[in-house]
């Protein structure tokens, strides 16, 4: 029995490495779009935030906690909001497909939804409306957002 279990593990592990998560290897140095992207700056109602976003309630959130993008070189990817970890155990990932066009990339989600991000100065720029803009910088891995540490830091700052 133990022999069979070890054999099964030896067979399954390489398959998991090959087929488990397509987005583990997304960075293609020859492609300016594929890779990991996280929010590095945002603008809301004309006010820009480059490290920390301060809302009207006095909460200071790191801008990287708003959105992360993973663009795999096979035309698939996902977007997530690390800030979701405040209310949930993990940040949900929403899958999409994407296509590049010279200086922009368009993400296609479910139900015929899409969003276009422009490439400028090494960053991806998304403007969902007239008063909001997000800039994404390419990173080797996403910055971890720990809501417990953020909450502790927020409480200490208010003292």
> Is there a contact between 117 and 107 (Cβ–Cβ < 8 Å)?
yes
Q: At 105, list the tokens.
A: 């990339």
pTM over 0.75? The answer is yes
**Residue 6: per-residue pLDDT:** 28
113 by DSSP, 3-state: which? coil
Distance CA 60, CA 156 (A): 12
Bridge partners for 136 per DSSP: 39, 124
pLDDT one-digit tens code per residue, 85-110: 888 877 889 999 999 998 999 999 98
Within 10 angstroms of residue 44's Cβ, the number of other Cβ atoms is 13
Select the more confidently predicted residue: 1 or 135.
Answer: 135
**Residue 2: per-residue pLDDT:** 30
CATH architecture of the region 30-158: Beta Barrel (2.40)
pLDDT tier for residue 120 given thresholds of 50, 70 and 90: very high
Positive or negative, the CA dihedral 103, 115, 146, 27 is: negative
**Residue 54: per-residue pLDDT:** 84
Look at residue 151 and tell me whether its pLDDT is greater than 90: no
Query: What are the extents of the domains in the chain?
Result: 30-158
pLDDT one-digit tens code per residue, 15-70: 222 223 334 446 566 789 999 999 999 999 999 999 899 877 777 889 999 999 99
Distance CA 59, CA 52 (A): 10
For 49-82, letters b (16+ CB in 10 Å) and e give beeebeeeeeeebbbbbbbbbbbbeeeebbbbbb
């Amino acid at each position: 029995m133990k022999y069979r279990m070890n054999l099964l593990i030896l067979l399954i592990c390489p398959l998991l490495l090959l087929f488990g998560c397509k987005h583990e290897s997304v960075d293609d140095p020859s492609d300016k779009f594929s890779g990991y992207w996280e929010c590095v700056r945002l603008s809301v109602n004309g006010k820009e935030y480059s490290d920390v976003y301060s809302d009207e309630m006095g909460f200071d959130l790191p801008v990287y906690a708003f959105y992360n993008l993973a663009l795999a070189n096979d035309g698939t990817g996902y977007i997530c909001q690390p800030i979701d970890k405040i209310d949930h155990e993990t940040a949900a990932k929403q899958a999409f497909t994407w296509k590049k066009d010279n200086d922009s990339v368009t993400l296609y989600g479910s139900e015929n939804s899409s969003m276009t991000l422009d490439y400028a100065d090494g960053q991806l720029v998304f403007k969902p409306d007239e008063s909001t803009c997000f800039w994404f910088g390419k990173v080797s891995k996403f910055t971890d957002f720990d809501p417990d540490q953020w909450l502790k830091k927020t409480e200490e700052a208010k003292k």
